[in-house]
Structure 1
Amino acid sequence: MQSKHRVFAEDLLLAAEGEDHFDRVPDSLVLLIFNKVADARSLGRCSAVSRRFNALVPLVDDACLRIDRVIPAGDGDGDALLGLAGAPRPRAVLSHLLKAVLLAVLKPFAHCDAKSAAAAHKHAQAQAQQQHHSPAQVLKNFSSIRNLRMELPVSDVGTDDGVVLRWKAVFGSTLQSCVILGGTKVDRAAAGPRAPTGADADAEDAGDGGGGGGSIPESFYTNGGLKLRVVWTISSLIAAATRHYLLREIVKEHPTLEQVALTDANGQGTLSMGREQLKEFRDKPLAAAAAAANRTQVPACNMKLRYAPLLELSDGTRIHGATLVVIRPVGEATAGTGGGGGRKGLDEFAANAFDGPLREAVAALSKRRTYLLEMNGF
């Protein structure tokens, strides 16, 4: 058996002769490792390691891109910019330092030229945005991406403390389907008899006319409950439509994409697009009004609302005012990412939209009475 010193000596000798053991690893295995890494910025750093890595990184199938910030658009400046922080260039640092000195010297005379000050402020804002790279810029060197996941730093829809709101939407050239799950309060059940849930609650409800689940109490309409659900629904759809619009450049420049998911760090909502949806998105240009609103237009929709005043799950979690809203555009025959059409496809999409306790909540609410609503496009 060779000693460790002997092995190390052989390694040093091979290195001195110019042989690298890593060169023996086949490219297919290196690509498999890169696909496991997935993070786009980490892969970008890997591409700077060697010529071999630089040639292999653009060939990865899977990529994950985490956005640092969303820079709001100024007046007349166009779209909001999804920014990934990059180190400022030395010239930019020197320029900022020089401007700071000049501003300090010329401050007493600032009132003499308000227009120049406004122009300088606007230029400084433009330079601040230039220090961030858009997702399209980061991904431009990836030529073979099939599965892309992007993550925003914050949720789109603000909610009060204790409120749970989750949504998942599927888009092609416009909205195809959306499911929203919400609750006004989430807590844990106290020790003692378990509150009825799921099939138990359905069995105890009487006089509901069939279809499971009982009636919505009158207080739901009078204390702002219905209005709150409408706000949740519209806000979630606007968030999904805004994310969809921001993907247009990436989808256009990457014809190899087969699956895209745009979510947020808090896991509030997910925009999903499969192969068929991506093809439709490329083939059908967005309406001119989309550019003005910085989001894709939402068509007129049919909505199915299901409600439970209190929903207790098997792990003891209780959702107060639990609400499930399933949305499909008027006249749309398909739903979900699996290609299933009609009512069955939409129900399957809703059932599989969330994981863990939220999946159980959807299953329990699906047994409740369904209330049909309609919404105009916006």
Structure 2
Amino acid sequence: MEDLVDQTVGAAKHVKLEDVFNLLPDELIVSHIFDKICDAKSLCRISLVSKHFSSLVYQTKTISFKIPHEAPIMRQLVDHSPLFLLEKILNFITGPLTFAHALCHSITPQQSQSRPPTPASLEIEYRPPPPTAFEIEFLGFLAAKFIGKFTSLQSLHMEIDNSKMESSAFSVVKWKYDYKTNSIIILIAKSLHALRTATHDDENGDDYYNIDDFDALVETVSFTEISVLHRISVLEKLVCLLPKSLDKVVVTDTKKQGEFGFRGSDLDDLRNQNTEDSRNQNTEDSATGVNFRLWTAPLLKLPLSRSVMRMVSVYLYKDINNLKDDCLIVKEAFEGEEEVFVEALMEMLKKEVAMGEIVRPQDMIFHPTD
């Protein structure tokens, strides 16, 4: 008798729990469960549980996902045509994300220099390594067949997983891409220490860039520029597949070296860039160069942050048609970031510009050739 009672009560509880779950409104499941999960891989698995879940998953308003970004492979450059990053990227795309981790490049300085590298001092070739079948299948599915089905999507967070990449000798890297001013700010330093541990107090010391430092800086600057443009290219292609309801996109990386985002009208501009009219614009009406500025300091003391940076370089690239003051762009670059980076930019602006010039598009290391 007791066994029969236990079975009856247990069955009743089971039915009751199922009934309670089934009584949850779909809107509540989406807003309080799926929107909280937001991870694309997890949502993909949930969508396979049942037809009901599958229909609800695609009503999720917030999605985040991570894609791998493989470190570049350094090779000796011999008689190859340089400077064709975006052309190679676009040719390699079979889906908006399939190339996301499959980018490698070769860099060779044209000559030994005592100053930090400039765009014209580099030659680059890119050979995408063959990704595995799983990576191509997963990334292609994620972009074209999964995320594109979210008809109510409002917020998208894409994280580039660069955690496994080898660290450069220049371990401090921070960058910012500003869509409105069409500018890129890059801050690179060999080290960042508490002020009391600094061993080099002479700002005019002779131990500036030796050949090893130069090579490491060339690699770091080049890879950072490439990464920024790479992420923008990924996003431009991905946005075209997503619903018009999308209002916010944020792109970050696991090392927190840089972040950029788009909201509202900026997303509309991105979509318009991929229309036929945008592709057929007269090249004579487009920018004919890029304003380039470089600030350097062998040692940078940051009293407010009680820190010191060594071998610091700040690079500014902006569209030649952008009339906004260079110093203002730099000052605003890291607003909201860690105080040490904000202070570093302010202190660097007190230095004389080490180099300021207009760089022709064909000399930019991330410029596509015809």
Q: TM-score range by the shorter chain?
A: 0.5 to 0.7
Task: Describe the superposition over 1:48-88 as per-residue Cα deviations: whole angstroms up to 9, x where unpaired.
Answer: 3344432222122221111146699x99973377469xxxx
1:177-256 aligned at under 5 Å gives the runs 177-190=183-196, 232-254=220-242, 255-256=244-245
Cα RMSD, aligned residues only: 4.8
CA drift of 1:299 comes to 6.8
Match of 1:149 in 2: 157
Match of 2:19 in 1: 20
SS of residue paired to 1:237: helix
Match of 2:257 in 1: 268
Match of 1:346 in 2: 329
Distance (Å, rounded) in 2 between the aligned partners of 1:29 and 1:367: 54
User: Is the 8 Å Cα contact of residues 189 and 317 (structure 1) preserved in structure 2?
Assistant: yes
Shift in CA distance, 300/353, structure 1 to aligned 2, threshold 3 Å:
farther
CA drift of 1:275 comes to 2.7
SS of residue paired to 2:92: coil
1:271-350 aligned at under 5 Å gives the runs 271-285=260-274, 300-313=289-302, 314=304, 316-333=306-323, 346-347=329-330, 349-350=332-333
Match of 1:95 in 2: none
User: Is the 8 Å Cα contact of residues 60 and 142 (structure 1) preserved in structure 2?
Assistant: yes
Which residue among 78, 100, 124 is the counterpart of 2:92?
Answer: 78
SS of residue paired to 1:282: helix
Distance (Å, rounded) in 2 between the aligned partners of 1:306 and 1:125: 38
Q: Is 1:136 the counterpart of 2:126 in the alignment?
A: no
Moved more, 271-280 or 251-260: 271-280
Distance (Å, rounded) in 1 between the aligned partners of 2:314 and 2:159: 24
Distance (Å, rounded) in 2 between the aligned partners of 1:267 and 1:186: 15
Shift in CA distance, 9/374, structure 1 to aligned 2, threshold 3 Å:
farther
CA drift of 1:39 comes to 0.9
Query: Which amino acid in the other structure matches residue 143 of structure 2?
Result: A
User: Is the 8 Å Cα contact of residues 330 and 345 (structure 2) preserved in structure 1?
Assistant: no
Shift in CA distance, 10/246, structure 1 to aligned 2, threshold 3 Å:
same
SS of residue paired to 1:49: coil
Distance (Å, rounded) in 1 between the aligned partners of 2:200 and 2:166: 32
SS of residue paired to 1:179: strand
User: Is the 8 Å Cα contact of residues 68 and 162 (structure 2) preserved in structure 1?
Assistant: no
CA drift of 1:44 comes to 1.5
1:64-103 aligned at under 5 Å gives the runs 64-68=64-68, 78-79=92-93, 82=97
Shift in CA distance, 28/38, structure 1 to aligned 2, threshold 3 Å:
same
Query: Which amino acid in the other structure matches residue 21 of structure 1?
Result: V
| Structure 1 segments unaligned to the other structure (5+ residues) | 1-7, 85-123, 197-215, 291-296, 334-340
CA drift of 1:261 comes to 2.7
Which residue among 143, 168, 181 is the counterpart of 2:176?
Answer: 168
User: Is the 8 Å Cα contact of residues 156 and 239 (structure 1) preserved in structure 2?
Assistant: no
Query: Which amino acid in the other structure matches residue 35 of structure 1?
Result: D
Distance (Å, rounded) in 2 between the aligned partners of 1:49 and 1:222: 58
Distance (Å, rounded) in 1 between the aligned partners of 2:166 and 2:287: 20
Distance (Å, rounded) in 2 between the aligned partners of 1:177 and 1:354: 18
User: Is the 8 Å Cα contact of residues 331 and 345 (structure 2) preserved in structure 1?
Assistant: no
Match of 1:258 in 2: 247
- After TM superposition, the score normalised by the length of structure 2 is 0.62
SS of residue paired to 1:140: helix
CA drift of 1:167 comes to 1.3
- After TM superposition, the score normalised by the length of structure 1 is 0.61
Distance (Å, rounded) in 2 between the aligned partners of 1:9 and 1:345: 74
Moved more, 307-316 or 319-328: 307-316
Query: Which amino acid in the other structure matches residue 184 of structure 1?
Result: K
Structure having the higher Rg: 1
Q: Give the count of matched residue pairs.
A: 298
Query: Which amino acid in the other structure matches residue 238 of structure 1?
Result: I
User: Is the 8 Å Cα contact of residues 48 and 54 (structure 1) preserved in structure 2?
Assistant: yes
Query: Which amino acid in the other structure matches residue 159 of structure 2?
Result: E
Match of 2:348 in 1: 365
